Amino acid sequence: MRSLCVFVLLVSLGGCASMVRSGAIMRAQDNYMDGDYQDAIEIVDRSLTSYDYDDEGKAQLLLVKAQSYEKLNELDAALGTYLYIVEQLPNTQVAYVLKRKLRAKSLIGPGI
């Protein structure tokens, strides 16, 4: 019985951690949508250092960060973050869409 209780507790905690990670992505996106770009960047940075994300979650957070940099007219930081997503997280949906957009603007070659 005790083993069952411990198992249920661990599964519950795992679910809570997942909700917290998803909540961080939503908070960053909400701040971006509200025009709080610096706060969005800070949320992304804190989230990436505090929680483990799969590649798709990392890419989503980094996309918010890159878009926030772009809105703050920090174009080098934005491009660097976009390129990081494309190069380091290439198998994500975010990277797939970014590759097409960056190629259309001639910011990356066809080989990436």
The model's pLDDT over 62-97, given as tens digits with 9 standing for 90+, comes to 999 999 999 999 999 999 999 999 999 999 999 999
What is the pTM (predicted TM-score) of this model?
0.78
The model's pLDDT over 53-66, given as tens digits with 9 standing for 90+, comes to 999 999 999 999 99
Domain boundaries defined on the chain:
2-104
Q: How far apart are CA 18 and CA 93, in angstroms?
A: 20
DSSP3 helix / strand / coil % (the chain, rounded to 5)? 80, 0, 20
Q: Which CATH class is domain 2-104?
A: mainly alpha
Tokens 């603007």 correspond to 105
The model's pLDDT over 4-16, given as tens digits with 9 standing for 90+, comes to 444 444 444 444 4
